[in-house]
Amino acid sequence: MAAQNKQEDDVVKQEMAYYKKYREILPTLPVAKGWFTEHLVQYQGFWLSQNLALKSALWIQQEFKVQPTDIFLASFPKTGTTWLKSLIFATINRTRFDFSTHPLHTSGPHDCFPFLDGYVHQSHETISDLDALPPPRLLSTHFSFDLLPDSMITSGSKFVYICRDPKDVLVSNWFFLSKMRPKEMGPLSLQEAFELFCQGISHFGPYWDHVLGYWKWSLENPEKILFLKYEELKKEPLVVVKRLAEFLGQPFSLEEESKGVVEQIIRLCSFESLSNLEVNKTEIFKYKDDMILDSNSFFRKGESGDWKNHLTDGMAEHLDKITLGKLSGSGLTFGCN
């Protein structure tokens, strides 16, 4: 029965406009080496896995129905997505759940705050259920600003974006994607990952273009998108979480602050707390039928500056030079020398 349902889902999807476009454009796209897939394809200036991300991008552009109350978390992979998902979920729902029996104790952050990018790979019924989720829907995406449909940009929905020092992004992606890389492909060396990253060839990259797209949008529409840095969140979580709540239209009251609600949310969502929960140590995360990850894969170190333990001085200097050049004149910095 399950196999029959999957076949029926596949037939339905293949009749949809996004899938027809996928078949039409795939042979025409530039190709480069993938990190955990054999190839990446370049679509509208960004490198995507052809079977996963490209299909998702086309589905979002052509089929996804945005709602004005939606809250989107946009991010490049391994920039603090898991942490920020839990903080937003806990902040938005702080009057619904008691901290002692909070859903984050028994469900992973990616279950509480699902990837919009992954819906196209689910059953047709699950996709239909997306429209019925109670507002505000919390949805995350790794796609760049340039790949978003106009409906998402012009609707009343809000975006939160988080970025991180490119050196840490490179190292964290290399560790994470190495776990996803099939054994028959052999390991991807850090040197090779470094060279690809510097060329802009990474899943959802180039990284600098990804960051700049949302950065420029935040300068033009600060009421629409809150732009955050991972390093600032690490340094001053209390300040950032209060900014987050205010931006999302749910500022903390003086009573909540006096009762330590902000601190409770920060403790609940801390790396130490989340990484030690049974659900995040032993459960699995299913992105699609043939892509299942251990939930603990999303929790490595949760630190800033771990790149110093892996990159040579020459690698770091080269990345900093690229970053300074790419961000020149934008007003955005990552603390490069």
- Kindly list the catalytic residues: 142
- Cα-to-chain-centroid distance, residue 189: 24
DSSP output for 185-243? G-PPPHHHHHHHHHTT-STT--HHHHHHHHHHHHHH-TTTEEEEEHHHHHH-HHHHHHH
Angle in degrees, CA 268, 269, 273, rounded to 5:
70
Residue identified by tokens 């052999």 is: 186
Residue identified by tokens 């505000």 is: 136
As given in the structure block, the two tokens for residue 32 are 């480069």
Kindly give, in sequence order, each residue whose CB lies less than 8 Å from that of residue 158, ignoring residues fewer than 6 positions away.
70, 71, 72, 224, 225, 226, 247, 248
Kindly give, in sequence order, each residue whose CB lies less than 8 Å from that of residue 182, ignoring residues fewer than 6 positions away.
36
Identify the helix (H) or strand (E) that includes residue 141.
Answer: strand 138-141
